[in-house]
Amino acid sequence: AIQLTQSPSSLSASVGDRVTITCRASQGISSGLAWYQQKPGKAPKLLIYDASSLESGVPSRFSGSISGTDFTLTIDSLQPEDFATYYCQQFNSYPPLYTFGQGTKLEIK
Amino acid sequence: QVQLVESGGGVVQPGGSLRLSCAASGFTFSTYGMHWVRQAPGKGLEWVAFIRSDGNYKSYADSVKGRLTVSRDNSKNTLYLQMNSLRAEDTAVYYCAKPHNGGNSHWGQGTLVTVSS
């Protein structure tokens, strides 16, 4: 089964910073990767799908990119509401096993 | 607007059974595959199961295969998760989710399942 390895597992940053979170797939998954934001006690929220497409209503400071089996979520100019946990999920394996990365907790410095 | 409402969670003893439901509205349920995702207390997200729109294809995480069964009733716009032979490690909030493009765009509020004696 395809594994997704997220890094870092936690991250401290300040309002206004630019941060990047990486998700590495153990095998090729084309562009079949999504990114989510989750706040405590809430359901996840889709940010990015197909590796780099911005979900409707999501601020443009969020972006996704792909290089081979490495996927990156970038948040430009962090806002207070961006401090949360972020997960990647793959959508392109066969048989379809839609695994998640282990998550990255983004905290205020 | 899309709405997903889970129900059926609760406390169950190890080895017991429970059936979760997810009532869907605001979209044509019968044309979408659906997912179950869970989250143990203080832990990350774990994908559990997927069912195709017509119900004729299902896939499961290895951790639940043979114990949890996903099904759906398109006439009732409802998704189900039958949970048998429950273990302590199945304790989690269970979410149903609707995919759109290449991601799960809508999620329910979740229902808590606690497996404990």
Task: Give DSSP secondary structure letters for B25-94.
Answer: ESS-GGG--EEEEEE-TTS-EEEEEEE-TTSS-EEE-TTTTTTEEEEEETTTTEEEEEE-S--GGG-EEE
d(CA A23, nearest CA chain B) in Å? 15
Q: Using CB atoms, which residue from A46, A55, A100 is nearest to B45?
A: A100
The verdict on a CB contact (< 8 Å) between A97 and B61 is yes
Quote the tokens at residue B28: 């044509």
pLDDT in tens, B68-109: 999 999 999 999 999 999 999 999 999 999 998 889 999 999
Name the β-bridge partners of A46. Answer: A36
Collapsing DSSP to helix, strand or coil, A29 comes out as coil
Distance from the A106 Cα atom to the nearest Cα atom in chain B, whole angstroms: 14
| Contact call for residues A34 and A91 (beta carbons, < 8 A) | yes
Average pLDDT over residues B39-51: 97
Close Cβ partners of B75 (under 8 Å, ≥ 6 residues apart): none
Q: Give B15→chain A minimum CA distance, Å.
A: 26
Q: Quick check: A91 pLDDT over 90?
A: no
Q: How far is CA B75 from CA A22, B19, B23, B30, B54, in A?
A: 42, 18, 11, 8, 11
CA neighbor of A103 nearest in space, from A25, A3, A8:
A8
pLDDT number for residue A96: 74
> What residues of chain A lie within 8 A of the CB of B37, using their CB?
44, 100
Per-residue confidence band for A10, with pLDDT thresholds at 50, 70 and 90: very high
pLDDT the model gives residue A109: 87
Nearest-Cα residue of chain A relative to residue B57: A96
